[in-house]
Chains A and B, each alone.
Chain A
Amino acid sequence: MAEAAESPGDRGRASPRPLMRDLKAVGKKFMHVLYPRKSNTLLRDWDLWGPLILCVTLALMLQRGSADSEKDGGPQFAEVFVIVWFGAVTITLNSKLLGGNISFFQSLCVLGYCILPLTVAMLVCRLVLLAEPGPVNFMVRLFVVIVMFAWSIAASTAFLADSQPPNRKALAVYPVFLFYFVISWMILTFTPQ
């Protein structure tokens, strides 16, 4: 994260400002993900706060209750965390090994921020699950998850595809597809206790 250089005299006054500025930067990137355009903001000023917030939110919402049997339920908090971060690192390594010219943290930043639509889908699914269960309930959730999945892929491809040589774009994009597919699956199969 880019921090403001503080002179010793400003110590008391300067501390709230970087926090607001960072929050604004995170919010701005959220907007860029929700309305993906060909812009370099996500790549230029990368940060990992947004992905961390999103990952924690998603993991908290996906976490199953402790009353369920350990082996048969949905993912635990740590499992979601591992899948998101390990998956993002693997995709980034894959992209770099194929010869992409994106930096490691830029790629993590993009992949993390593009989980935002799926986090929104998770919120919507949790709300929908408060209604009565049934096939309509499931269809609504399926539709929402599919739309958000497509949105995530479109957003991340818009940022990542240009960094690959043209004859390897599909090789670099496919793991992204698999990554968001697994997260979508976890969201869709979430059953409340």
Chain B
Amino acid sequence: MATADELTFHEFEEATNLLVETPDAVTTSRSDQLTPQGHLAVAVGSGSSYGADDEVEEESDKTALLQEKKQQPEFWTFGYYQSFFDVDTSQVLDRIRGSLLPRPGHNFVRHHLRNRPDLYGPFWICATLAFILAVTGNLTLLLAQRRDPSIHYSPQFHKVTVAVITIYCYAWLVPLALWGFLRWRKGVRERMGPYTLLETVCVYGYSLFVFIPTVVLWLIPVPWLQWLFGALALALSAAGLVFTLWPVVREDTRLAAAVLLSVVVLLHALLAMGCKLYFFQLLPPGHLAPLPQATSLSPSMLPPPTLTRSMATF
């Protein structure tokens, strides 16, 4: 392990100098290396808030490949952002599979991301989820209108905006807060540093993937089935998050670890329930007939559209 420590420490020094010197070996690894190059690109390029000492603790088992260095692009160049999209189709699919099947020993960041987080997955999974939420919520309204013609159907385009803002804020601000909290607590831990911001965002982004098929399955108009699917998805998703965060928080005090994990799970549950209620809740048909304002079916009671045109839409 002495060699490993030397290499680790050596690399730590190199990391801070990489912006000014040109290394001799330039390689880009694809799928079969455990090198933390992408990791370094994040840590060094941003400059301000990443402590390079965190990287020392994390790279203790990646030492064999630390010989290779590639030039770290500046954060104002396009190449810097390209390093976040350095993934292949097979890698993205593998990460999605990993998020769907969380296992207690398997840490998503270590086993699937291998310290090379990407932004492709989180960004497009959030986009897909937001649009699928809006579309299937509207479809639910359409199908309900077929069953019960007194319901007024409308495209409800504003829900697209709501969905996009909600999902993106959740998937990017909550990891930011979590990362900040973990860094604040890192003084308590000796062994393992917190994940970088990008890795946290990645974990959250991929964990949202399981909601995409769930939302499509919520089209089935059987309430208990919907809650069952929702609970299943929440369990899978939250399990993935907990198993990934556990190695980091278990060295903290019991109280802090328990509070953190339960807040993470609680926020996830709130997101799932909020989406279900806002996009999919329809008032039961019995309430609609006498009152004109009941024809608007989103839970926030909107000003009533005219009733006469509602019959002739489809």
| B89 and A73 within 8 A (CB) | no
Contact of B82 among A75, A99, A135 (CB under 8 A): A99
Within 8 A of B (CB), among A65-104: 67-69, 71-76, 79, 94, 96-99
* Interfacial chain A residues near B305, Cβ < 8 Å: 68-69, 72-73
Dominant SS among interface residues on chain B = helix
In the bound complex, CA of A171 to CA of B125 (Å)? 12
In the bound complex, CA of A185 to CA of B298 (Å)? 19
**Least Cβ–Cβ distance between A19 and chain B, in angstroms:** 36
Within 8 A of A (CB), among B85-117: 85, 87-90, 92
A interface, CB within 8 angstroms of B? 67-69, 71-76, 79, 94, 96-99, 133-135, 137-138, 167-171, 174-175, 178, 181-182, 185-186, 189-191, 193
Instruction: Count B interface residues, CB 8 Å.
Output: 39
| A170 and B157 within 8 A (CB) | no
Contact of A175 among B90, B124, B156 (CB under 8 A): B124
In the bound complex, CA of A190 to CA of B154 (Å)? 9
- On whether A167 and B85 interact (CB within 8 A), knowing A72-B296, A178-B128, the answer reads no
Q: Who on chain A is nearest to B93 by CB?
A: A170
Contact of B135 among A67, A167, A185 (CB under 8 A): A185
| B131 and A182 within 8 A (CB) | yes
* Interface residue stretch chosen among B6-14, B224-232, B306-314: B306-314
* Interfacial chain B residues near A75, Cβ < 8 Å: 155, 157
- On whether A170 and B89 interact (CB within 8 A), knowing A72-B296, A138-B314, the answer reads yes
- Residue with the highest number of chain B CB atoms closer than 10 Å, among A98, A169, A189: A189
Q: CB of B284 within 8 A of chain A?
A: no
**Least Cβ–Cβ distance between A74 and chain B, in angstroms:** 4
Within 8 A of A (CB), among B36-84: 78, 81-82, 84
* Interfacial chain B residues near A178, Cβ < 8 Å: 124, 127-128, 131
Q: Who on chain B is nearest to A67 by CB?
A: B306
| B155 and A189 within 8 A (CB) | yes
| B131 and A94 within 8 A (CB) | no
| B90 and A98 within 8 A (CB) | no
* Interfacial chain B residues near A181, Cβ < 8 Å: 131
Contact of A73 among B87, B123, B157 (CB under 8 A): B157
Contact of A191 among B81, B123, B154 (CB under 8 A): B154
In the bound complex, CA of A164 to CA of B302 (Å)? 46
| B302 and A69 within 8 A (CB) | yes
Q: CB of B303 within 8 A of chain A?
A: yes
In the bound complex, CA of A170 to CA of B92 (Å)? 10
| A72 and B154 within 8 A (CB) | yes
Q: CB of B181 within 8 A of chain A?
A: no
* Interfacial chain A residues near B160, Cβ < 8 Å: 182
| B155 and A171 within 8 A (CB) | no
* Interfacial chain B residues near A69, Cβ < 8 Å: 296, 302-305
In the bound complex, CA of A67 to CA of B308 (Å)? 13
* Interfacial chain B residues near A74, Cβ < 8 Å: 154-155, 157
Q: CB of B138 within 8 A of chain A?
A: yes
CB-CB contacts of B133-177 with A at 8 A, as 1s and 0s? 001001000100000000001111110110000000000000000
In the bound complex, CA of A151 to CA of B160 (Å)? 25
* Interfacial chain A residues near B84, Cβ < 8 Å: 97
| B154 and A73 within 8 A (CB) | yes
* Interfacial chain A residues near B123, Cβ < 8 Å: 94
- On whether A191 and B127 interact (CB within 8 A), knowing A69-B305, A94-B120, A185-B135, the answer reads no
**Least Cβ–Cβ distance between B128 and chain A, in angstroms:** 6
13 contacts between A and B (CB under 8 A): A67-B306, A69-B303, A71-B302, A72-B296, A75-B155, A94-B124, A134-B314, A168-B87, A171-B87, A171-B120, A178-B128, A186-B155, A191-B155
